[in-house]
């Protein structure tokens, strides 16, 4: 390993502390540490991320110091590069930044030895037509209304075949990784991130029969804005938003590149899921208060 790119949550002492620990670890190993959030660097030629979302730094590892929002920003900075990403959580337990701060040096040592495990996560490519840019997202593409807009009508096609017209507050196209984000709040299912699939979930649909749908990961989803009542935006991983006009088409398909997420040395996806969503809480309470689990002294009847 020759170079580490660090992207961190700005203006936080704990992120500065973690950055210092990485630099201390890197010096005896001859590893260069590049600060991707250095405000003094040139966005086009320096170590910082470029303005168009593509990071000009070639790195062996990207270390993200922050939460899931910082991690999604780092994915955007990479611009589709398949560079391994080590997410170090500096706050509440996150789904993407699952490595704890106390595990930082252990994870770096494991990566240097070639022993750090990572998972491939499906990403989506989104284009706004006509004439729009193409974006890469890890979590979701969301078409939703502005603060004062009324219900919009969205026509959805899958692989060139008509699916439905959704009259709703919006529509979410998500990856399995994004199934625990906005989609979960919209009533969507939790999908294991090792599956190759795409989720379509309406936001507050007018018809109760419009339910979330899971389709194949190689499908192409096209959203057509048929009727615009006020402002309607497409939001990409919560990082960037574009206002849509009537006649615009949002085309979403699997990205040719995947995200490579380093795994925690001490926990797996399901342990993170249990902790974040408190899935085992009732089980623990039952063990604590279940009378059947307590020892009972039995006396012989006289």
123: nearest Cα among 59, 198, 49: 198
The C-alpha atoms of residue 93 and residue 113 are separated, in whole angstroms, by 26
| 192 neighbors 211 (Cβ within 8 angstroms) | no
Distance (Å, rounded) from C-alpha 35 to C-alpha 79? 17
Is the distance from CB of 163 to CB of 157 less than 8 angstroms?
Answer: yes
Active site residue 16: no
CA distances from 208 to 151, 157, 226, 268 (A): 15, 20, 20, 36
CA angle at 10 for the pair 8 and 13, rounded to the nearest 5°:
95
Closest by CA to 75, choosing from 145, 166, 5, 168, is 5
Do residues 156 and 222 touch, judged by C-beta distance below 8 A?
yes
CA proximity to 22, closest of 101, 119, 114: 101
Number of helices followed by number of strands (H, E) in the chain: 6, 19
Of how many residues is the chain composed? 302
Place of tokens 């935006």: 233
Concatenated DSSP letters of 233-266: EEEETTTEEEE--TT-EEEEEE-SS-EEEEPPSS
> Per the residue annotation, which of 37, 68, 140, 237 is the catalytic one?
68
Active site residues: 68
């Amino acid at each position: 390993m020759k170079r580490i790119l660090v992207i961190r949550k700005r203006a936080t002492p704990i992120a500065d502390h973690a950055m210092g620990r990485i630099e201390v670890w890197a010096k005896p190993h001859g590893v260069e540490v590049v600060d991707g959030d250095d405000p003094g660097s040139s966005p086009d030629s320096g170590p910082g991320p470029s303005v168009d979302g593509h990071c000009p730094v070639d790195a062996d590892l990207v270390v993200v110091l922050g939460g899931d929002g910082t991690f999604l920003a780092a994915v955007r900075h990479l611009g589709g590069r398949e560079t391994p990403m080590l997410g170090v959580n500096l706050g509440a337990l996150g789904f993407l930044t699952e490595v704890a701060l106390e595990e930082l040096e252990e994870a770096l040592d494991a990566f240097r030895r070639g022993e750090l495990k990572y998972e491939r996560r499906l990403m989506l490519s989104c284009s706004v037509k006509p004439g729009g840019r193409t974006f890469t997202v890890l979590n979701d593409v969301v078409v939703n209304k502005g603060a004062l807009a009324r219900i919009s009508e969205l026509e959805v096609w899958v692989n060139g075949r008509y699916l439905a017209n959704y009259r709703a507050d919006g529509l979410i196209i998500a990856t399995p990784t994004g199934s625990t984000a906005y989609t979960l709040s919209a009533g969507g299912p939790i999908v294991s991130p090792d599956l190759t699939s795409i989720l379509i979930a309406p936001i507050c649909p007018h018809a109760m029969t419009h339910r979330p749908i899971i389709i194949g990961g190689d499908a192409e989803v096209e959203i057509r804005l048929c009727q615009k009542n006020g402002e309607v935006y497409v939001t990409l991983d919560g990082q960037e938003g574009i206002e849509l006009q009537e006649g615009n088409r949002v085309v979403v398909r699997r990205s040719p590149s995947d995200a490579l997420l380093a795994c925690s040395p001490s926990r797996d996806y399901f342990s993170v899921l249990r902790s974040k969503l408190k899935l085992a809480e009732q089980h623990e309470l039952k063990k604590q208060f279940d009378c059947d689990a307590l020892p009972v002294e039995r006396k012989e009847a006289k």
